Structure 1
Amino acid sequence: METMPSYAEDIDGGRSPSVSMLSEVAAARKITIVGGSVPEMASGQLFNTCCVVGPDGEIKAKHRKLHLFGIDIPGDITFRESDTFTAGQEPTVVDTDVGRIGIGICHDIRFPELAMLYRSRGMPCKFSP
């Protein structure tokens, strides 16, 4: 995690090789792509970010991971994403050519409240085993 800032990309500033590649592929194939995680540097903070890119190659939405993972097992392991990343501030809902979707990154899906919020905003909840 210590090296993560050196890989950070400036998505809003247009200096994001990852999102540029997603944009090129989405536009070339005329598809929607949900892609991430990308370490994003914005306003001096590092975020774990996922972008939704439309068939025109434009970013339709950007989700910053809301729930940062942490574990502390005395004598064994301590790991806190919050030592490196800043949590996002709001859920992300986006209308796409395949329907309305809500975005969650990794640990975000452990929180049923987020799924319930997305459901209340018109997204069908379907889970596969």
Structure 2
Amino acid sequence: MKTALLQITSSDDPAENLDMVRAMMTDAAAQDARFVLTPEVTNCVSTSTTRQRAVLQHEEDDITLAGLRAQAAELGIWLLIGSLGIKTHDADGRFANRCFMIDAQGQIVARYDKIHMFDVQVTESETFRESKNYRPGETAVIAETDFGKVGLTICYDLRFPHLYAALAQAGARILTVPAAFSPVTGAAHWESLLRARAIETGCWVLAPAQTGTHPKTRGKTRQTHGHSLVVAPWGEVLIDAGTDPGIHIFDLDDSSVSEARRRVPSLTHVRPFTGP
């Protein structure tokens, strides 16, 4: 099945980003892609809480979700919206970092809220506290699709291999890792971690990424690593998108999952053990 990763540079203007992504989806479908994936925070990349509160919306009102659902239905394609920043009704006012799987009729078939929050100090000048504005999810999610079971994860989840093992053991044959990775940690760890998750599970790992310097109206400038990757179940990197925005199309072949798992059936070798 022809599949497309969209590598984009989202601004802090959801309407502008929606127009960009819809145009890219149309281009991907014209190249016969039947499954399209976008990165984390497709609707808004911003370091300003004030800006986020001004432009983010609740799920039922979100213009990006509505627009991309309609576009998927019009094109007759499956769509993974890597994530959207979504307002919640939580008392503390924090947002959700939420992924959506959309079917070819534009219906939401699965939602996943990012479990692991990126609370780190990468360098002396680069600190992230995702949990300040976003509340963590609590539930791992597999999306049932026409082309198999897809395990949904987001960005920093990548550093927690037990999540991916659980998804694979529950039947996932494709793992998605939409991201807005830091350039510092991306250069050091991005490819290694993605390849490890594929090798450990015998799954396809599809990782559409934000890239470059993100246009803003408020807040500090944000940069992301890019290098959207497609990793096959045996661990080969089939696509590295570099740092330019663009559409990257490949053939998603389910038989390679079975072959990798036949050669090294580690998922069937998991044994219980007592802790240290």
Establish whether TM, by shorter chain, passes 0.5. Answer: yes
Match of 2:107 in 1: 58
Shift in alpha-carbon separation, 1:7–1:36, aligned structure 2, 3 A: farther
Higher relative contact order (CA 8 A, sep 6+): 2
Query: CA-to-partner distance for each residue in 1:27-47, whole Å, 9 max, x for gaps?
Result: 111111001321111223311
> Which moved further from structure 2: 75-84 or 18-27?
75-84
SS at match of 2:96: strand
Distance across 2 between alignment mates of 1:84 and 1:50:
17
Asked if the contact 1:72/1:79 (under 8 Å) is kept, the reply is: yes
Q: Which has the larger radius of gyration?
A: 2
Match of 1:17 in 2: 63
SS at match of 1:61: strand
Asked if the contact 1:68/1:107 (under 8 Å) is kept, the reply is: yes
State the identity as a percent: 26
| Larger proportion of helix | 2
Shift in alpha-carbon separation, 1:72–1:100, aligned structure 2, 3 A: same
Match of 1:111 in 2: 160
Q: Which of structure 1's runs of 4+ aligned residues deviate more than 6 A?
A: none
- Which of 66, 84, 100 pairs up with 1:38? 84
Shift in alpha-carbon separation, 1:121–1:6, aligned structure 2, 3 A: same
Q: Which amino acid aligns with 2:151?
A: G
* 1:59 shift after superposition: 0.8
Distance across 1 between alignment mates of 2:74 and 2:123:
50
Match of 1:48 in 2: 97
Distance across 2 between alignment mates of 1:94 and 1:106:
18
Gaps of 5+ in 2: 1-46, 174-202, 206-230, 232-236, 238-276
Shift in alpha-carbon separation, 1:55–1:79, aligned structure 2, 3 A: same
Gaps of 5+ in 1: none
- Which of 26, 36, 41 pairs up with 2:72? 26
| Larger proportion of strand | 1
Shift in alpha-carbon separation, 1:112–1:25, aligned structure 2, 3 A: same
TM-score (structure 1 length as normaliser)? 0.88
Match of 1:7 in 2: 55
Shift in alpha-carbon separation, 1:22–1:73, aligned structure 2, 3 A: closer
TM-score (structure 2 length as normaliser)? 0.43
Distance across 2 between alignment mates of 1:48 and 1:58:
19
Q: Which amino acid aligns with 1:22?
A: L
> Which moved further from structure 2: 74-83 or 108-117?
74-83
